[in-house]
């Protein structure tokens, strides 16, 4: 389903964080949002998920106006567009499997969720999601004991449990080393390609956006100043997005790069699970 932002503006006092943004995204695109710190990238994503509301303008998904949803319809929307954060937002003392199953919260009754009662099907789903991300062996560990890269994969597994139509990721790899960054971006791309789920991700490195995203939206001071394919993102466009520094010097693209060639890194951990991981996880829950 088509996703649209129509003239969306968000003010904080006199500060315009997002300024008259118009974007039209067909279902299944992989979109990268880039721009300097303070350009409005996070505010834009938060409005899509309705963690923040536009001051004016409207947001649409298919025939429904997302920006007007209330109550149950709003909760359903927040289930349909899963959010992934730089800092993972897991419950550190809960085991990984439970963290992943928490992705089902909006699918079930609050009482059952509060009691921590999950069905056999939900456990199987959670394990399958962990297996897909190559971390099923961590199922019984407290989430807080995992490495950053593993935690972000748990967050992606939790997002998958929501059965989302769209995944929003706010700098999902900003706290990760290059290898883990590649594993996480590969996972997002795989979900985009195999499930056809739209992915919109804020990224602070241009080379990552170029490598993974078919469409790049460049923001500067709240406005969309570029919207096109990586090929169309010329040096002049990069200059407009990131601007000149205070000495008037132009930006060099390497300044926003990870300095490691993502194409040359090994592929993600796809080791098959230890035979006991699944049975253990099922037995313990």
Query: By the criterion CB under 6 A, which residues form the site for ligand ATP?
Result: 12, 15, 17, 35, 37-43, 204
By the 10 Å C-beta count (0-12 exposed, 13-18 middle, 19+ buried), 51 is classed as middle
Which C-beta is closer to Mg ion: that of 39 or that of 133? Answer: 39
The nearest distance, CB 15 to ligand ATP, in angstroms, is: 5
The nearest distance, CB 222 to ligand ATP, in angstroms, is: 7
Stretch that binds Mg ion, among 33-41, 100-108, 110-118, 139-147 (CB under 5 A): 33-41
Q: Would you say 82 and 167 are in contact if contact means Cβ atoms under 8 Å apart?
A: yes
What distances in angstroms separate CA 174 from CA 74, 148, 223, 285, one per listed residue?
Answer: 29, 10, 23, 33
Q: Which does 40 bind (CB under 5 to 8 A by kind): Mg ion, ligand ATP, none?
A: ligand ATP
Which C-beta is closer to Mg ion: that of 15 or that of 276? Answer: 15
The nearest distance, CB 51 to ligand ATP, in angstroms, is: 10
The nearest distance, CB 34 to ligand ATP, in angstroms, is: 9
- Round to whole Å and give the CA distance between 8 and 18: 7
- Round to whole Å and give the CA distance between 156 and 163: 11
> Left, alpha or beta for 150 (phi > 0: left; psi -120 to 50: alpha)?
alpha
Q: Of these, 42, 67, 150, 152, which contacts Mg ion (CB under 5 A)? A: 42
In the complex, which residues of this chain contact Mg ion (CB under 5 A)? 41-42
């Amino acid at each position: 389903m088509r996703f649209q932002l129509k003239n969306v503006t968000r003010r904080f006092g006199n500060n315009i964080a997002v300024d008259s943004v118009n974007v039209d995204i067909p279902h299944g695109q992989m979109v990268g949002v880039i721009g300097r710190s303070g350009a409005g990238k996070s505010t834009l994503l938060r409005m899509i998920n309705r963690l923040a509301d536009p001051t004016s303008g409207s947001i649409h998904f298919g025939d429904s106006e997302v920006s007007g949803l209330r109550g149950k319809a709003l909760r359903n929307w927040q289930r349909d567009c899963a959010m992934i954060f730089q800092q993972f937002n897991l419950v550190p003392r809960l085991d990984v499997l439970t963290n992943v199953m928490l992705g089902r919260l909006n699918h079930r009754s609050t009482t059952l969720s509060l009691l921590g009662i999950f069905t056999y099907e939900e456990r199987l789903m959670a394990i399958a999601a962990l297996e897909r991300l190559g971390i099923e062996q961590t199922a019984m560990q407290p989430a807080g004991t995992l490495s950053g890269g593993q935690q972000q994969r748990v967050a992606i597994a939790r997002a998958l449990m929501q059965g989302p139509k769209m995944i929003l990721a706010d700098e999902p790899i900003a706290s990760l080393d290059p290898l883990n960054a590649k594993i996480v971006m590969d996972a997002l791309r795989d979900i985009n390609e195999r499930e056809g789920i739209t992915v919109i991700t804020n990224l602070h490195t241009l080379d990552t956006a170029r490598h993974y995203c078919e469409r790049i939206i460049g923001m500067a001071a709240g406005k969309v100043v570029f919207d096109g394919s990586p090929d169309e993102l010329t040096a002049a466009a990069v200059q407009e997005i990131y601007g000149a520094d205070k000495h008037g010097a132009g930006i060099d693209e390497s300044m926003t790069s990870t300095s490691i060639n993502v194409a040359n890194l090994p592929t993600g951990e796809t080791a098959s699970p230890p035979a006991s991981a699944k049975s253990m996880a099922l037995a313990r829950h």
